[in-house]
Amino acid sequence: MSGESPGPARRLRVDADPETVERGLASLVLTLVELLRQLMERQALRRLDEGSLTDEQAEKVGYTLMRLDERMTELTDHFGIAREELNIDLGPLGPLLGDR
């Protein structure tokens, strides 16, 4: 038995391809940024509905969210990641970003 090679369950390999690692890291970071963007958008909409934002504040928030969305598109295009890919499956809790 000492001459046997380890079975498939014992073989562990790390995919250290720089492009794969870079894309995976970019995907993770962009997923977190997208989560924050969505949370900020929901908060802004809630505050608009409550009337707790001035017209100037609402305009600034809208412009900021629009620019962030444009930048996200630029970054996902640069890394070849579709916006739909920006999510993490949390198992029984469902997807991190929920339904879009």
- Give the tens place of pLDDT for each residue, 18-64: 778 888 899 999 999 988 988 999 999 999 999 999 999 999 999 99
Higher-pLDDT residue of 92, 14:
92
15: confidence class by pLDDT, cuts 50, 70, 90: low
Residue position matching structure tokens 């928030």: 61
For 47, other C-beta atoms within 10 Å of its C-beta total 14
Looking at residue 48, its amino acid is: L
Report whether 31 contacts 86 (CB < 8 A). yes
* pLDDT score at 50: 94
Predicted TM-score of the model (pTM):
0.70
Q: DSSP for 9-71?
A: GG-------HHHHHHHHHHHHHHHHHHHHHHHHHHHHHHHHHT-S-HHHHHHHHHHHHHHHHH
